[in-house]
Amino acid sequence: MPSNKKLLILPGDGIGPEVMREVRRVIDWMDRRRAVTFDIEERLVGGSAIDAEGTPCSDETVERAKAVDAVLFGSVGGPKWDGLAFEKRPELGVLRLRKDLGLFANLRPAVVLDPLVDASSLKPEVVRGVDIMVVRESTGGIYFGEPRGIETLPDGKRRGFDTDVYHEDEIARVARVAFDLARQRRRKVTSVEKANVMQSGRLWRAVVGEIHKAEYADVELENMYADNCAMQLCSRPKQFDVILGSNLFGDVLSDLAAALTGSLGMLPSATLGAVDPVTGKRHALYEPIHGSAPDIAGKGIANPLAQILSFAMLLRWSFGMDEDAALVESAVGKVLSGGLRTADIMQSGMARVGTSVMGEAVVRELDKLAA
């Protein structure tokens, strides 16, 4: 009996619509081949929404995002909108969705796939087998803290300021997500902060320690300063299982972890809200960790795999379709072991392809896997 799943697709700006087109092929394949139908609604977000609707994320878009089963997001921003006032920037589109939907836990898996071991800028022996889950807090911290601004002082000089602020409940709930994930993995959480120089970091370390002691004594907890973590990610990445960090540190460290895998174009993410105790449902948004890549937008060369793998995360986390998610991930692995590469992960001896050839190849592999 086919069941309908409601999806809101927000391609956004730059390479967002280009890589989203390739996910649509995968969704069409699922519609054709599996007992599932996706009801898809597409809307504008980011700079394209500013141009057409005067705001990076309209109230209606937020309402639709709340109403559907899951949101698939591309990326927002670009030089066209760089001159806008801070409160009007395209990036506020995704920040608003995260905040208004209560999407506090951003899961960013950084997995070095075997065929891409040599595409990493680090030595193969350093990255082979790396499998890290970065859990980034995503509705608090310095991206949302007040006060913030740029003020002009009496001497005419300007002063810019932001506030990194965390309530203990915000730390506790994302810590529980990290510990729960660790239980399904290798049972280790590395919690990163700068408790040596930041008050919010001191609280972070204290609260994570308390949650660990009271509820997760079976999981190993390691505390690490964020700067040290950046260094260790480059020198000994295999020591990490789950890395837990604030909005800012999680953002920065996951981009770094992406470099281990070969490219930002390989890393998907899921941003999850709390499970409603009555309905058992949760709001969720799935997006690659990369941005709108203005330097390559419009050239047809962007890597669509992070966006496609974000759809696989959607199948797993929002719909419990673990087998289908694994099928999409296997298809991606097969395409890569078959030798196709977009420019960002190009290696000698491999075949360089553009965005749509890569997307078509994933669908071809899905056909073969399902045959």
Ligand X SMILES: NC(=O)C1=CN([C@@H]2O[C@H](COP(=O)(O)OP(=O)(O)OC[C@H]3O[C@@H](n4cnc5c(N)ncnc54)[C@H](O)[C@@H]3O)[C@@H](O)[C@H]2O)C=CC1
Ligand Y SMILES: CC(C)CC(=O)C(=O)O
DSSP 186-236: TSEEEEEE-TTT-HHHHHHHHHHHHHHHHH-TTSEEEEEEHHHHHHHHHH-
| Angle value at C-alpha 215, between 165 and 100, nearest 5 degrees | 40
Beta bridge mates, 271? 106, 285
| Angle value at C-alpha 56, between 54 and 60, nearest 5 degrees | 85
For ligand X, the closer CB: 93 or 201: 93
Q: How many whole angstroms from its chain centre is CA 149?
A: 27
For ligand X, the closer CB: 57 or 243: 57
Candidates 251, 324, 329, 365: give the one binding ligand Y (CB under 6 A).
Answer: 251
Binding mask 296-325 for ligand X (x = CB under 6 A): x-----xx--x-------------------
Residue numbers 57-116 binding ligand Y by CB under 6 A: 91, 94-95
For ligand X, the closer CB: 55 or 239: 55
Peptide bond between residue 147 and the one before it cis (omega within 30 degrees of 0): yes
Q: With CB cut-offs between 5 and 8 Å by kind, which of ligand Y, ligand X, Mg ion, none does residue 178 bind?
A: none
Binding status of residue 132 toward ligand X by CB under 6 A? no
Closest of 103, 163, 192 to residue 139, by C-alpha: 103
Q: Is 17 annotated as a binding residue?
A: no
Q: Tokens for 85?
A: 């006032």
For Mg ion, the closer CB: 120 or 269: 269
Please check whether residue 296 is in contact with residue 302, taking contact to mean a CB–CB distance below 8 angstroms: yes
Q: Is 292 annotated as a binding residue?
A: yes
Q: Is 251 annotated as a binding residue?
A: yes
Closest of 288, 367, 285 to residue 330, by C-alpha: 367
Instruction: Please state the closest distance from residue 194 (CB atom) to ligand Y, in A.
Output: 19
Applying CB under 5 A, what is the total number of residues that bind Mg ion?
Answer: 1
Candidates 136, 283, 290, 316: give the one binding ligand X (CB under 6 A).
Answer: 290
Q: Phi and psi (nearest 5°) for 25?
A: -60, -40
Burial bucket for residue 151 (CB in 10 Å: 0-12, 13-18, 19+): exposed
Residue numbers 260-279 binding ligand X by CB under 6 A: 263-265
SS3 108: strand
* Catalytic sites, residue numbers: 143, 194, 227, 251, 255
Applying CB under 6 A, what is the total number of residues that bind ligand Y?
Answer: 5
For Mg ion, the closer CB: 241 or 251: 251
Binding status of residue 251 toward Mg ion by CB under 5 A? yes
Q: Tokens for 70?
A: 């899951």
Q: Is 79 annotated as a binding residue?
A: yes
For ligand Y, the closer CB: 77 or 237: 77
Q: Is 293 annotated as a binding residue?
A: yes
Please check whether residue 290 is in contact with residue 310, taking contact to mean a CB–CB distance below 8 angstroms: no
Beta bridge mates, 272? 105, 284
Q: Phi and psi (nearest 5°) for 237?
A: -65, -20
Q: With CB cut-offs between 5 and 8 Å by kind, which of Mg ion, ligand Y, ligand X, none does residue 302 bind?
A: ligand X
Candidates 132, 142, 242, 289: give the one binding ligand Y (CB under 6 A).
Answer: 289
Q: Is 86 annotated as a binding residue?
A: yes
Please give the residue ranges that form the binding site for Mg ion (CB under 5 A).
251
Known binding positions = 78-91, 98, 108, 136, 227, 251, 255, 291-303
Output the known binding site for substrate. 98, 108, 136, 227
Contacts to ligand Y by CB under 6 A? 91, 94-95, 251, 289
Residues that bind ligand X (CB under 6 A): 15, 19, 75-78, 91, 94, 263-265, 287, 290-296, 302-303, 306, 344
